[in-house]
Every structure is written in structure tokens, then in C-alpha cells.
Chains A and B, each alone.
Chain A
């Protein structure tokens, strides 16, 4: 990696974040609200991408990590009256614990079995959120009140229900996750993950502990997804078991594939694009699942590398 490409990479990422922050001041109200949501969901997709794109592990259970953050933050805030920072931290902690346990178990399997096992654990998690309906209110979910979603910062109060605050916090979370992913994939650990994806047996022969590296990837991915979940609960004030259902394990896969697996900015591109595709088509037809299904099939048939993956292959080899 040359000096020049390092400068280009950081330049690009800083520019993307700067544009996102600048958009806060120019976007019309509707798109402003959409983008705030997309940024949080893009963090979810970035967490997924770390495991799927770089480490090559296809999980069908990431809704469980998102929901761990969602409930980890939402439940203490709702039932115990915790403040926003404490709730966010407990969301992260929940993601850490869930992903470490699931990683230890699910990584004993490989390939197809890994997908099925993660899907089943996620289904168990989903059913658990329904089973404890007394506290979670199941599908109906919990609505976090406005006065609970405020942070006192010295004399001023940060109101998470204010659109500008919400947008800027979402952008801050996005930037943190983006640079964290960038740092991980450019580190030695990130290189080992790619090596595992390409040939696990050979990586082990070279003396790397593949299990420990994969476990670290699952945990990092789980914590990033949990951060997205916790932020979603706090910023948008809703916690429901829909977010733990199978559909929310499929969506990040779709976003990542579309934007380009194993590209740092791909998840944002995919999430943004898909959100608007569904948004626009639902203006004409209620058949948005048809669009999701067709896009998935067309992607695997004709466009395996996604948007940024293709850009990298054709024009910009330096893209991380």
C-alpha cells in the first residue's frame, strides 16, 4: 500500500462524512428524516459486511445482534428509567455478550451449517422476545417517550427527538463505525480475515489461529450491529420484535451485496439505494417484497460484486 493511496483512501472517507454532515443543512425535511434512518441502518450493514464481506462468513442471524442492541438499550430505558448514555452502553454490552456466545457456538460449524445455525439462534432470540411479551410487548413493541430520550450536557439538553440532533448523532455514529471498519480491515487482523475468506486451510497452515480471528470478527460485527440497534431505539424511540425477525437478517445481506461486499462504503451505497427503491416503488405498488426478491436474484445472476465492488474492479483498485 503506497503513501499516495493511503492519502486517497482517507481523503475519500473524510469527504463522504463531510458531505453527509453538510447534507444536514440543505436536505428537505422528508429526505432529511430518511437519511438519518438510512445512516443508522447502514451501520447495521457495515457490521454485517465485516463478517460477510471480509471474513467470508455468511450469517442469516444478524437480526439477533441488531435486536440485542435494540432491547439492550430500550428495555432498561423503558423499565428501569436509565439515562440515554447508560442505555446505549448496555445495548453495546448486550451485543458483546450475545455475539461472543453465539460466535463460540456457531463457529464450530462451517459453510451451510453456519448459516442454518445462525438462523436458528436468531429465531430462538425472536421467539424469546415474543415469549417475554409482558416486558417487550412483542410485535406491538414499546414506544420510548420523548422525556426519556434527552441527555443533559452541562446547561443544555440534547433532545434526541429533534430532527437535527438526531441526524447529526446518526452521522456521528456512522462516521465512528466507518473509521472503525476502515481501521479493522487495514490492520493485520483484517488481512488475516481476508486470508481466511480466500483459503482457511492455508491460513491455518501459515500459523494463524483462524478460530480466534473469526471469533474476533463475529464479536466486532455483533457489537457494531448492536450499536446500530441501540441507536435505532434511542433515536427513533421504538423497540419491537419485528426487528428480530428473519427479515432483518436478510436485509443487511441484501444491502451489502448491492453496495459491494468487502468495500467499506458499499453498505452505505446499498442501504441508501435499496431504501429509495422500496420507497419509490411503494408509491406505485404495495408489492415491495417483489422488488427485494427480484433485486436479490438479479444481483447474484449478473452483478455479483455490487456497485462499489464493480467500481473497484474497473476503475479504482485502491478502494478499501
Chain B
């Protein structure tokens, strides 16, 4: 294959990565933005989404599309419920103290990981894609399902943006983010908003995982990479900024796709992580964020 088509293929792969990454990172960013906490267990919600997708598609017989549709709806709901319960039971009791929250979510990470290992097992299992249509480009055929991931992710991002900026729920969330105490004084049930935001963040990660699992595989340790990549995206994009998150996800996803086609993946990861750490050291507000108040 010539260089041009090769680059096109790499870009397409990168766009798929970026689409999934944007959703996952948006979940992390939302939780950080509104609640001011870092959720270390975010990657495990992602993993849980993939594992549940496998469980649901295996339970539903018949056309793979039916099982997949069921997974797309049910898996995020279950993950959201788990997140909501853990927020109410643990995080709300430690009053969102930043350090205690990190320790508690690390604990959550270990518990979820262990439960997945115990009940799902150490194998990596595939999930059948809902349809297997190939789009024939002049140079190579490309999976239609992968393109549909990009579309689905774009739609979900738009929906999230709409909810956050154009609805009453979004207004309540933004009010809580802006000033928790004033919001409470105006009768906003801050505790319930926090529970909902935490659940929503986890659900975004779970949806992303359900979308990606037909082209990767479900495995109980799959949560660490999305977690680190989401950190990277959220930092580059500026903590708590929706537009920044999407731009950064595109940047990281596409460059990751292109770099890993042409260089060793470990070296690419080393350089990417180092660059991001340096960004955080020398420009803590992120590349697109504004300085903290």
C-alpha cells in the first residue's frame, strides 16, 4: 500500500480511538468538573461496560444486532446504578475530600476488578458486531461498524452537550459546579446532583466500552489504559472543559493511531505520557483551559 492510503487507514483507526476516548474522557471530565474529585475507578466502569456487553450478548440468542442493542441500553444502566450506589454509600460520606476520594476510588477499582476476575474470568472474550458490512474504498475495504462507532460517539457527545447547556438538568449541574453552597441555598439538591453526575460519568465510560468491544475484546484488566488516556485527554483539554476534552481526544486519538502505525507502541506511550506530564507541570490549566479563578 502506498503512503497516502496507509495514512488514511491510520487516520481512520485514530478517529475510532478518538471517538471512544472522547466519550470516556468526557465522563471523567464531567465528574471532575462538577464534583471536583478524581475518579480513579473510571477505567473499571469502562471495563464493566465491556464485560456486561459480553454477558448480555451471550444471554440474548438470535440476531447479534438484537443482543448488541440490548447491551447498548442495559450495560450503561447497570454500570450507572453501581456507580450511583458507590457514590451514595462511600463518596458522599467522606464529603468529597480530594485525597480520601482518591484512596476510596482506588479501593473501588480493586473491588470491581476482583469481582470481574472472579465472575467473568481471566480470558479475553470477543463480542460479535451487530452487523458486518464492509465499505469498499478504492485502496482497501473498511469495516462499516467502525465508521458507525464514530457516528454514534459524535451523536452521544452532541446529546451530552445539549443536556449540559440547553436543559434544566444541565443548568442545575452547572450551578452546582459553579458554587456548591449557593446552589444548595437556592434549593438545589446537591447530594442528588452529585449522585447523578457520578452515575452519568460512569455511564459514558460504559457506553464507550460497549461500542468498542466488538472490535477489541472484553478483559478484566482492560480498564487501566482508558483511565490513563482519559487523564491525558482531560489534562490536555483543561480539567472540566467539554470542548477542550473533545478536541484533545481527537488530537490524542488520531496522533496515537498514526504514531503507533509508524513507531513502536511502547515508545509512543512513553513519549505521550511524558509530554502530558510536562504539560501538567508547566501549564497546569491545560492547553485549552483558562487559568483557575
Binding site for B on A (CB under 8 A): 58, 60, 105-106, 108-109, 111-113, 115-117, 119-121, 123-124, 127-128, 130-131, 246, 250, 253, 257, 286-290, 292-297, 299-301, 304
Q: Which residue of A lies closest to B266 (CB)?
A: A131
| Binary A-proximity of B72-110 (CB < 8 A = 1, otherwise 0) | 000000000000000000100110001110111011111
* 16 additional A-B residue pairs with CB within 8 Å, beyond A124-B270, A295-B107, A296-B110: A58-B102, A60-B102, A112-B38, A112-B98, A120-B231, A120-B277, A121-B277, A131-B264, A131-B266, A292-B107, A296-B106, A297-B90, A297-B107, A300-B103, A301-B93, A301-B104
Q: Which of A124, A288, A299 is B277 in contact with, Cβ under 8 Å?
A: A124
> Using Cβ atoms and an 8 Å threshold, which residues of chain A touch B185?
none
* Residue contact B114 to A123, C-beta cutoff 8 Å: no
Residues of B in contact (CB 8 Å), total 40
> Using Cβ atoms and an 8 Å threshold, which residues of chain B touch A127?
266, 269-270, 273
Q: Which residue of B lies closest to A58 (CB)?
A: B99
Q: Which residue of B lies closest to A120 (CB)?
A: B277
Q: Which residue of B lies closest to A298 (CB)?
A: B107
**Is B261 engaged at the interface, CB distance under 8 Å to the other chain?**
no
CA distance A139 to B144 in the complex (A): 37
9 contacts between A and B (CB under 8 A): A111-B98, A117-B277, A117-B280, A119-B231, A120-B228, A121-B274, A287-B117, A300-B94, A304-B100
> Using Cβ atoms and an 8 Å threshold, which residues of chain B touch A116?
38, 231, 235, 280
Q: Which residue of A lies closest to B110 (CB)?
A: A293
Given contacts A108-B282, A109-B280, A131-B267, contact A124 B273 (CB under 8 A): yes
CA distance A296 to B90 in the complex (A): 11
> Using Cβ atoms and an 8 Å threshold, which residues of chain A touch B103?
253, 257, 296, 299-300
Q: Which of B113, B273, B276, B281 is A289 in contact with, Cβ under 8 Å?
A: B113
| Whole-angstrom distance between the Cβ of B264 and the nearest chain A Cβ | 8
Given contacts A128-B270, A295-B107, A296-B106, contact A290 B235 (CB under 8 A): no
Secondary structure type dominating chain B contacts? helix
Q: Which residue of B lies closest to A299 (CB)?
A: B103
* Residue contact A290 to B111, C-beta cutoff 8 Å: yes
* Residue contact B110 to A300, C-beta cutoff 8 Å: no
* Residue contact B280 to A301, C-beta cutoff 8 Å: no
CA distance A60 to B231 in the complex (A): 14
> Using Cβ atoms and an 8 Å threshold, which residues of chain A touch B273?
120, 123-124, 127
Given contacts A124-B270, A293-B109, contact A115 B277 (CB under 8 A): no
> Using Cβ atoms and an 8 Å threshold, which residues of chain B touch A286?
118
With most chain A CB atoms within 10 A of its CB, the pick from B113, B270, B277 is B277
CA distance A125 to B282 in the complex (A): 20
Given contacts A115-B102, A300-B100, contact A290 B110 (CB under 8 A): yes
> Using Cβ atoms and an 8 Å threshold, which residues of chain A touch B93?
301
| Whole-angstrom distance between the Cβ of B132 and the nearest chain A Cβ | 35
**Is B284 engaged at the interface, CB distance under 8 Å to the other chain?**
yes
Binding site for A on B (CB under 8 A): 38, 90, 93-94, 98-100, 102-104, 106-115, 117-118, 224, 228, 231, 235, 264, 266-267, 269-270, 273-274, 276-278, 280-282, 284
Given contacts A109-B280, A120-B273, A127-B269, contact A297 B102 (CB under 8 A): no
* Residue contact A120 to B104, C-beta cutoff 8 Å: no
Q: Which residue of A lies closest to B40 (CB)?
A: A60
| Whole-angstrom distance between the Cβ of B225 and the nearest chain A Cβ | 11
* Residue contact A294 to B231, C-beta cutoff 8 Å: no
* Residue contact A113 to B100, C-beta cutoff 8 Å: no
CA distance A304 to B93 in the complex (A): 12
* Residue contact A124 to B274, C-beta cutoff 8 Å: yes
| Whole-angstrom distance between the Cβ of A147 and the nearest chain B Cβ | 33
Given contacts A106-B281, A109-B281, A120-B231, contact A301 B90 (CB under 8 A): yes
* Residue contact B107 to A120, C-beta cutoff 8 Å: no
> Using Cβ atoms and an 8 Å threshold, which residues of chain A touch B270?
124, 127-128, 131
> Using Cβ atoms and an 8 Å threshold, which residues of chain B touch A123?
228, 273
> Using Cβ atoms and an 8 Å threshold, which residues of chain B touch A113?
280, 284
* Residue contact A290 to B114, C-beta cutoff 8 Å: yes
Q: Which residue of A lies closest to B278 (CB)?
A: A105
CA distance A301 to B102 in the complex (A): 12
> Using Cβ atoms and an 8 Å threshold, which residues of chain B touch A130?
266
Q: Which 8 pairs, one residue from A and one from B, show the smallest C-beta to C-beta distance?
A: A293-B110, A296-B107, A293-B111, A297-B107, A289-B114, A290-B114, A120-B277, A293-B107
Given contacts A115-B38, A123-B228, contact A108 B267 (CB under 8 A): no
> Using Cβ atoms and an 8 Å threshold, which residues of chain A touch B108?
293, 297
> Using Cβ atoms and an 8 Å threshold, which residues of chain A touch B118?
286-287, 290
CA distance A297 to B107 in the complex (A): 5
> Using Cβ atoms and an 8 Å threshold, which residues of chain B touch A105?
277-278, 281
* Residue contact B280 to A289, C-beta cutoff 8 Å: no
With most chain B CB atoms within 10 A of its CB, the pick from A257, A289, A297, A299 is A297
| Whole-angstrom distance between the Cβ of B38 and the nearest chain A Cβ | 5
Q: Which of A58, A111, A120, A257 is B276 in contact with, Cβ under 8 Å?
A: A120
> Using Cβ atoms and an 8 Å threshold, which residues of chain A touch B99?
58
Q: Which residue of B lies closest to A297 (CB)?
A: B107
CA distance A127 to B277 in the complex (A): 14
CA distance A113 to B284 in the complex (A): 8
* Residue contact A296 to B104, C-beta cutoff 8 Å: yes
Q: Which residue of A lies closest to B268 (CB)?
A: A127
CA distance A287 to B277 in the complex (A): 33
> Using Cβ atoms and an 8 Å threshold, which residues of chain B touch A246?
224
Given contacts A293-B107, A293-B109, contact A120 B280 (CB under 8 A): yes
CA distance A121 to B280 in the complex (A): 11
With most chain B CB atoms within 10 A of its CB, the pick from A58, A108, A120, A294 is A120
